[in-house]
């Protein structure tokens, strides 16, 4: 877990970085929107829960949080959710119904505190309207991204993610070549179905984001990207034609374990 930082007067990032051995880091971001009814978007990794709660408290008095918005039920998005739930007993939890049903298999959710959303549905967090949409790239069927109309920003869930060489606070601080390779690699590994996709339909989904034209993309897996949306979209358009990702195999694991052994063993 890294130090939180503010991007817009109303949006703070709770950043973490999962190391990918030999490759770099995967940013894992949660966000706080200081709306009239403050919103927490996602809850980081479980391995970070104590630090996550500390970081969250440094941004907002937990009693003020009115919404916990979950983009989907993957472990890197709901890691500290149960702890947050305990500490924020009055917030409404906005998520897709299927995510709620799946999370209920771990421990029961307070059903009367849930707000179920499908793409196209909105919640009103005081002076902010957050509209759910299906992002062009996702790794989980329960995924919803969120568009904040007032701020004209997009919380894009796993879409627009990248494996990056080192933690930074802006996508544009990543060297150009590293961003190109890191975003293509992430999209290909996280959503292998992109290599089977109808490219015309995929491009239409990307065009929807271009027309929306958010001034900042807040991806769960990229430092905030202010402006230059065309560049990000162009990178994703090329993913279906990129070489499919192949995960490290047993041989790679054995090599890694060998390197981890203390000298002399
Ligand atoms: Fe995911
Ligand atoms: Fe994720």
What is the CA(144)–ligand 2 centre distance, in A? 12
Helices (H), 158-265: 176-190, 199-212, 229-237, 250-260
| Residues near ion ligand 2 (Cβ under 5 Å) | 74, 76, 158
Quote the pTM value.
0.96
**Which residue range forms the structural domain that includes residue 146?**
5-260
> Residue 12 falls within a domain, yes or no?
yes
Give the neighbor-by-neighbor strand order of the sheet with 11-20. 5-8, 11-20, 24-33, 39-41, 67-69, 92-95, 114-116
What is the CA(203)–ligand 2 centre distance, in A? 22
CB 33 within 8 Å of CB 14: no
> Residue 48 falls within a domain, yes or no?
yes
Helix (H, G, I), strand (E, B) or coil at 133: strand
Q: Tell which residue, 77, 105, 258, has the closest CA to residue 93.
A: 77
The CATH number for 52's domain is 3.60.15.10
> Residue 26 falls within a domain, yes or no?
yes
Based on the structure, what is the number of domains in the chain? 1
> Residue 265 falls within a domain, yes or no?
no
In this prediction, residue 215 carries a pLDDT of 98
Per-residue pLDDT of the chain in tens (265 residues, 90 and over written 9): 999 999 999 999 999 999 998 899 999 999 999 999 999 999 999 999 999 999 999 999 999 999 999 999 999 999 999 999 999 988 999 999 999 999 999 999 999 999 999 999 999 999 999 999 999 999 999 999 999 999 999 999 999 999 999 999 999 999 999 999 999 999 999 999 999 999 999 999 999 999 999 999 999 999 999 999 999 999 999 999 999 999 999 999 999 899 888 776 6
In this prediction, residue 143 carries a pLDDT of 98
> Residue 22 falls within a domain, yes or no?
yes
What is the CA(105)–ligand 2 centre distance, in A? 20
| Residues near ion ligand 1 (Cβ under 5 Å) | 74, 139-140, 158
> Residue 140 falls within a domain, yes or no?
yes
Ligand having the closest approach to the CA of 140: 1
């Amino acid at each position: 877990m890294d130090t939180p930082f503010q991007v817009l007067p109303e949006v703070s990032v709770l950043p973490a970085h999962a190391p990918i051995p030999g490759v770099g880091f995967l940013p894992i971001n949660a966000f706080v929107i200081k709306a009239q009814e403050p919103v927490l978007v996602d809850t980081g990794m479980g391995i970070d829960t104590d630090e996550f709660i500390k970081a969250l408290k440094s941004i907002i008095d937990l009693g003020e949080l009115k919404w916990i918005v979950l983009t989907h039920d993957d472990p890197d998005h709901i890691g500290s959710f149960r702890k947050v739930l305990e500490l924020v007993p009055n917030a409404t939890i906005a998520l897709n119904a299927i995510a709620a049903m799946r999370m209920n298999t771990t421990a029961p959710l307070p059903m009367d505190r849930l707000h179920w959303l499908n793409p196209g549905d909105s919640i009103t967090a005081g002076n902010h309207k957050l509209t759910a949409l299906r992002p062009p790239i996702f790794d989980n069927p329960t995924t919803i991204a969120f568009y904040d109309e007032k701020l004209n920003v997009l919380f894009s869930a796993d879409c627009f993610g990248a494996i990056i060489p080192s933690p930074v606070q802006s996508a544009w601080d990543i060297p150009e070549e590293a961003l190109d390779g890191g975003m293509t690699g992430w999209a290909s590994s996280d959503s292998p179905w992109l290599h089977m996709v109808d490219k015309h339909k995929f491009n239409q989904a990307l065009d929807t984001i271009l027309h929306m034209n958010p001034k900042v993309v807040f991806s769960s897996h990229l430092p905030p990207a202010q402006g230059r949306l065309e560049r990000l979209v162009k990178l994703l358009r090329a993913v279906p034609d990129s070489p499919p990702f192949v995960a490290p195999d047993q041989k790679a694991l054995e090599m890694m374990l060998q390197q981890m052994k203390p000298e002399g063993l």
